[in-house]
Structure 1
Amino acid sequence: MYRLLIVDDEAIIRQGLGMLPWKENEIEVVGILKDGIEAEEWIDSQEIDILLTDIRMPGLSGIELAKRTLQNYPDAKVILLTGYGEFEYAREAISLGVSDYILKPSTPDEIMACVKNACEKFNQEKKTKIKLEELESKIQGYSALVKPAEEILEAEDERIGKIIKYIYENYDRELSLSVLSEEFHFTTVYMSHYIKKETGYTFLEILTSVRMYYAAKYLTETKLKNGEICSKIGISDERYFGQIFKKNYGMTPYEYRKSGSHAVNPFQKFTETAQL
């Protein structure tokens, strides 16, 4: 099943899109949201394959939401819903990596066909990348034959340690998989696969855990308010911060501060040689 997120500020359009036969076409609608700000919070914590969004919305436009989505999930496909007067915006978005656009009004069949086409592209690209990763893995395997096993393991430990250390040092700014990949001269696909393989966690899970770790330290070691803590850990929405913190620690920031608990550094074992 392909994971589809729908975003539109018009209730009647959200309702209509929600009634389309998605499941019959192997598409799971994971969320139907009313604006870009809600959607931005969603994609910061949950993966999606396809984004279907209005191009102009209050708070955060569809183009800005598309940029954020593709930063977090470079393989995702983005489709913009646009009116005739917004055609130039759609053309700009295509140049930024958006897959397609749908002119309003469109029939249900036209919308479904466009989304199914995006799903097919997503599937084909995923298959191609898997084959490339398998080939790369084989090449690495052949190279490994000429290196002592201990040397290889030490090199891998050092490399993942540097990556995790970089996340610790930059968690307080707008950090994405694309930024991290560029820093270490990897493709985003390889970086995503490598982090998951070496740590058992996704990049987003690690970044969120590190941010919550420092948030917990601020709560117990300072008198900073939640909004001030948000600004120090790279999160712009205080309500979203409260939700994620409770998900990680099982209590609200206020409850955690009162509990006197001490946060445990979540990924210290990967950076034992670095001073964090």
Structure 2
Amino acid sequence: MYKIVIVEDEWLVREGLKQTIPWSDLGCEIAGEAEDGEAALELLEQAVPDIMLSDIRMPTMDGIELARRVSERWPEVNIVFLTGFDDFAYAQQAVRLGAADYVLKPTNPDELEKVVRRITSKLDEARSKRQLAEQQDKHWAEGRPVVAGLDKRETGESREFQQIMDYLLTHFQEDVPLQSMADRMKVSESHFSRLFKKHVGVSFLEYVTNLRVQAAKELLADPRFKMYEIAERVGYQDSRYFSQIFRKSTGETPSEYRKRLGISTV
């Protein structure tokens, strides 16, 4: 269940939000409530929610300032503003600054449900990717690819697909075009893409990238390798592009990863 915090200075509005929205059906639960921004920050110190519903106009600290502080401290929190028509332009500006969405007051339950479903759908996708990445990390260490629901004994297509997965494990650092893999199975590129996503859970490019990043992590742990050497060994001729890919995948640059391991960058 995803955790939600409600920040609203009007008690009746807070109660209405808690009682009229079928939170459990949305895969959510109310983790707490606060009547102003300062109280909300104290609440988040105890437990960080996945979603924060916040009014814009509140005493002590308004919703915009609260959102700014929350985004700086807990960027993973999805903020949804509850705003009156007079604050409509204000809310739009807040969304451009990083809020997930906004809903006009008086709050339409159906509209709020749609917004929450959009956010939880993104959270589900992010969670699935993290779980798959963890599985891939584990299987990479064991020298095996992650292939969901694939039994080598099932069909000729399954066997051919497994052979491609085995090939990728030992040739990921080479140029492995999607079309060439599809040709190996004698299927179209689009069909191969669908088949790959079905069995592996991520796209062909994402999987190859993950293999390269995992290999790069092992090489980064060895201080003998220079950065450009690591880039070339895992399939990237441009070390700057390699750094961009690594950061997008892990959240940190190769240099930052090495620094965290206590290794000087060379």
Structure 2 length-normalised TM: 0.52
2:23 matched residue in structure 1: 22
2:82 matched residue in structure 1: 81
1:6 matched residue in structure 2: 6
Q: Does 1:54 align with 2:115?
A: no
Q: 1:124 Cα deviation (Å)?
A: 2.5
Amino acid of the structure 1 residue aligned with 2:106: P
Choose the corresponding residue for 2:251, options 186, 190, 195.
190
Change (3 A) 1:189 1:106: farther
Change (3 A) 1:84 1:123: same
1:107 matched residue in structure 2: 108
2:99 matched residue in structure 1: 98
Q: 1:66 Cα deviation (Å)?
A: 1.4
Following the alignment from structure 1 to structure 2, what is the Cα–Cα distance between the partners of residues 103 and 126? 29
- Is there any run of 5+ residues in structure 1 with no aligned partner, and where? 153-185, 200-269, 272-276
2:71 matched residue in structure 1: 70
Following the alignment from structure 2 to structure 1, what is the Cα–Cα distance between the partners of residues 98 and 212? 30
Change (3 A) 1:145 1:190: closer
What secondary structure sits across from 1:143 in the alignment? helix
Q: 1:145 Cα deviation (Å)?
A: 5.4
Following the alignment from structure 2 to structure 1, what is the Cα–Cα distance between the partners of residues 110 and 125? 22
After superposition, residues 1-276 of structure 1 pair within 5 angstroms as 1-19=1-19, 20-128=21-129, 138-143=211-216, 151=223, 190=251
**Identity across aligned pairs (percent)?**
33
Following the alignment from structure 2 to structure 1, what is the Cα–Cα distance between the partners of residues 50 and 71? 10
Following the alignment from structure 2 to structure 1, what is the Cα–Cα distance between the partners of residues 61 and 132? 37
2:229 matched residue in structure 1: none
Q: Whose Rg is larger?
A: 2
1:209 matched residue in structure 2: none
Q: 1:113 Cα deviation (Å)?
A: 2.1
Q: 1:189 Cα deviation (Å)?
A: 7.0
Query: Once the two structures are superposed, what CA deviation does each residue of 1:79-111 show, in whole Å capped at 9, x if it has no partner?
Result: 100000011210110111111110011222222
Q: 1:78 Cα deviation (Å)?
A: 0.9
Amino acid of the structure 2 residue aligned with 1:8: E
- Is there any run of 5+ residues in structure 2 with no aligned partner, and where? 137-206, 225-246
Aligned 8 A contact 2:48 2:77 in 1 = no
Following the alignment from structure 1 to structure 2, what is the Cα–Cα distance between the partners of residues 145 and 112? 44
Larger relative contact order, structure 1 or 2 (CA cutoff 8 Å, min sep 6): 1
2:166 matched residue in structure 1: none
Structure 1 length-normalised TM: 0.50
Change (3 A) 1:97 1:144: closer
How many residue pairs get matched? 163
2:146 matched residue in structure 1: none
Following the alignment from structure 1 to structure 2, what is the Cα–Cα distance between the partners of residues 81 and 145? 47
Q: 1:118 Cα deviation (Å)?
A: 1.7
Amino acid of the structure 1 residue aligned with 2:111: E
